[in-house]
């Protein structure tokens, strides 16, 4: 259901960001049966430092350089962070125009009152492409990358947050708070993974957010955005020629009757998100949504949740503490060598990933790694403790349909976590 916009949302008086995004519930009256509002714990400085410490060495080194640059140039003070944002976006805009003939259609459809961008996911650069298409807007978003200092700085400055720290309920609560207290523009990619196309079924996490924000009247709409073109199909940090088109469609308010419980005549979250994504699919020339394998694996996980959790609960293994590495570990830490080294006899394979993306391995020295390969590029992450390892195992089970390869309990002399 599409409606003309009216200036229904006045700017919200913003409480301090720390108090608004974490701790007690701000604006508790903004609620819906789809989500129970909850408090969000804020990480301590020590918890953040521990998280930063376990980044890949290159990321730690990059963070060290960037943190000193931010301090030296006083980028964190006053409007400097927004000047920096505009400079970076202008550079990317020039780049995309020069090499990808970037064309943007429908900028006039962006409402001044705020909106939730619903965007398809053709590649890793989608958040940046949307920013360059709308250079005057700083929007909040969830991204699945970044767990170190730089990612935290981006979150503090611009509201672009990492999904890695949140479960579903916390993610919904964080998005509600972000829109109500920090940034009335928010972007999300419901398909959940970059792919060449066509447009697929999406995850419905954003629907409870919309329902809470618009709980008593229409405040901010969804705004479908289609990104397409050969230049958009890039993965990782890669240069690619080819055109990029950004089509900003008309804003969409959901029929208020749909936000009621299904037994009272409302629609399910699945029906609502599919309705929204179909705007993108039709613009892309599709008559129906394509199957989303990640979503199917997620459903498989939920259907077998008790069995998976029992497997994880019983899973025990020795993991070496500290940053010490053996000669084999030094080689696996280098992405160009990781795939070859992970196949060596010294490495124990912990899980089977039918997609071939993840290989969770344990070295004979006790160090564990997640070797991930996508589109010919390899990332290596050391898993510092059993909690991080179990998180990766659950991810492979839930998102990739993986199964544990071994349930053996280590009897080595390493420290058992």
Kindly write down the DSSP assignment for every residue of 134-168, as one continuous string: STT---EEEES---SHHHHHHHHHH-EEEGGG--H
Give the three-class secondary structure for 103. Answer: strand
- Residue 116 falls inside a structural domain: yes
Cβ atoms < 10 Å from Cβ of 119: 23
Print the domain residue range for 356.
Answer: 297-404
Domain tally, the chain = 2
- Residue 1 falls inside a structural domain: no
Residue-level pLDDT at 14: 38
9 burial level (CB within 10 Å; 0-12, 13-18, 19+):
buried
The residue among 140, 102, 128, 106 whose CA lies nearest residue 223 is 106
Same domain, yes or no: 328 and 206: no
Provide CB contacts within 8 A for 185, sequence distance 6+.
114, 115, 117, 137, 138, 139, 140
Rounded CA-CA distance 151/149 in Å is 5
Provide CB contacts within 8 A for 65, sequence distance 6+.
none
Last residue of a domain, one of 291, 323, 355: 291
Provide CB contacts within 8 A for 29, sequence distance 6+.
215
Same domain, yes or no: 177 and 33: yes
Last residue of a domain, one of 291, 321, 339: 291
Residue-level pLDDT at 10: 37
Rounded CA-CA distance 415/417 in Å is 6
Cβ atoms < 10 Å from Cβ of 162: 18
Same domain, yes or no: 60 and 180: yes
- Residue 6 falls inside a structural domain: no
Angle between helices 293-303 and 386-400 (to 10 degrees): 110
Cβ atoms < 10 Å from Cβ of 170: 15
- Residue 411 falls inside a structural domain: no
Whether 385 and 417 have beta carbons less than 8 Å apart is answered as: yes
Last residue of a domain, one of 267, 291, 315: 291
Same domain, yes or no: 212 and 172: yes
Residue-level pLDDT at 83: 84
Residue-level pLDDT at 18: 43
Rounded CA-CA distance 32/213 in Å is 9
Pairing of strands 115-119, 103-105: unpaired
Same domain, yes or no: 362 and 388: yes
Same domain, yes or no: 220 and 353: no
Spell out the alpha helix ranges (H) of 196-318: 206-213, 269-283, 293-303, 305-314
Rounded CA-CA distance 394/351 in Å is 10
- Residue 193 falls inside a structural domain: yes
Same domain, yes or no: 128 and 269: yes
**Per-residue pLDDT for the chain (417 aa), expressed as one digit of tens each?**
444 333 333 333 433 344 588 888 999 999 999 999 999 888 888 888 877 877 767 778 888 888 888 888 777 777 788 888 888 889 999 999 999 999 999 999 999 999 999 999 999 889 999 999 998 888 988 877 777 788 888 888 888 887 667 788 999 999 999 999 888 999 999 998 889 889 999 999 999 999 999 999 999 999 999 999 999 998 777 788 999 999 999 999 999 999 999 999 999 999 999 999 999 999 999 999 999 988 888 887 777 777 777 777 777 788 877 667 788 888 888 888 888 888 888 889 988 888 888 999 999 888 899 999 876 778 888 888 888 888 888 888 877 878 887 543 443 333 333
Task: Indicate which CATH number applies to the domain containing 165.
Answer: 3.40.1130
Give the three-class secondary structure for 221. Answer: coil
| DSSP H or E segment with residue 105 | strand 103-105
Rounded CA-CA distance 206/175 in Å is 8
Same domain, yes or no: 255 and 128: yes
Q: How far apart are the first and last CA of the chain?
A: 53
| pTM for the full predicted model | 0.77
Cα angle for residues 111, 114, 119 (degrees, 5° grid): 85
CA 221, distance to chain mean position in Å, is 21
Same domain, yes or no: 320 and 252: no
- Residue 321 falls inside a structural domain: yes
Pairing of strands 185-188, 115-119: parallel
Whether 349 and 361 have beta carbons less than 8 Å apart is answered as: yes
With the C-alpha atoms ordered 83, 85, 88, 89, is the resulting torsion angle positive or negative? Answer: negative
Same domain, yes or no: 313 and 283: no
Beta-bridge partners for 377: 374
Same domain, yes or no: 279 and 376: no
- Residue 12 falls inside a structural domain: no
- Residue 8 falls inside a structural domain: no
Rounded CA-CA distance 379/227 in Å is 26
The residue among 86, 84, 60 whose CA lies nearest residue 72 is 84
Same domain, yes or no: 333 and 360: yes
Rounded CA-CA distance 277/291 in Å is 13
With the C-alpha atoms ordered 276, 280, 283, 287, is the resulting torsion angle positive or negative? Answer: negative
């Amino acid at each position: 259901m599409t409606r003309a916009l009216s200036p229904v949302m006045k700017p919200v008086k913003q409480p301090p960001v720390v108090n608004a995004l974490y701790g007690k519930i701000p604006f508790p009256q903004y609620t819906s049966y789809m989500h129970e509002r909850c408090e969000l714990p804020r990480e301590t400085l020590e918890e953040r430092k521990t998280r930063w410490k376990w980044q890949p060495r290159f990321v730690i080194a990059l963070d060290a350089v960037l943190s000193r640059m931010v301090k030296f140039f006083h980028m964190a003070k006053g409007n400097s962070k927004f000047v920096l944002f505009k400079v970076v976006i202008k550079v990317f805009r020039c780049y995309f125009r020069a090499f990808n003939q970037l064309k943007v259609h429908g900028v006039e459809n962006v409402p001044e009152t705020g909106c939730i961008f619903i965007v398809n996911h053709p590649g890793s650069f989608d958040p940046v492409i949307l920013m360059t298409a709308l250079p005057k807007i700083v929007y909040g978003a969830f991204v699945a990358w970044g767990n170190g200092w730089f990612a935290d700085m981006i979150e503090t400055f611009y509201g672009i947050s990492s999904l890695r720290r949140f479960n579903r309920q916390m993610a919904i609560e964080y998005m509600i708070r972000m829109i109500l207290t920090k940034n009335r523009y928010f972007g999300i990619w419901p398909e959940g993974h970059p792919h060449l196309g066509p447009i697929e079924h999406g995850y419905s996490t954003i629907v409870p957010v919309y329902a809470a924000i618009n709980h008593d009247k229409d405040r901010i709409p969804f705004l479908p955005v289609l990104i397409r073109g050969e230049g958009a199909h890039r993965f990782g940090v890669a240069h690619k020629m080819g055109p990029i088109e950004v089509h900003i469609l008309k804003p969409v308010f959901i029929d208020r009757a749909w936000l009621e419980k299904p037994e009272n005549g409302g629609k399910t979250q699945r029906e609502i998100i599919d309705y929204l994504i179909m705007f993108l699919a039709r613009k892309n020339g599709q008559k129906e949504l394509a199957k989303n394998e990640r979503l199917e694996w997620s459903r498989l996980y939920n259907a077998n949740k008790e069995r998976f959790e029992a497997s994880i609960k019983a899973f025990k293994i020795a993991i070496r503490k500290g940053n010490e590495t053996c000669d084999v570990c030094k080689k696996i830490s280098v992405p160009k060598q990781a795939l070859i080294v992970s196949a060596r006899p010294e490495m124990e394979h912990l899980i089977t990933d039918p997609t071939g993306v993840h290989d969770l391995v344990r070295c004979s020295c006790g160090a564990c790694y997640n070797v991930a390969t996508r589109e010919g590029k390899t990332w290596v992450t050391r898993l510092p403790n059993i909690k991080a390892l179990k998180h990766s195992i659950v991810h492979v089970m839930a998102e990739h349909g993986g199964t544990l390869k071994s349930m053996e309990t280590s009897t080595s002399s390493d420290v058992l976590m």
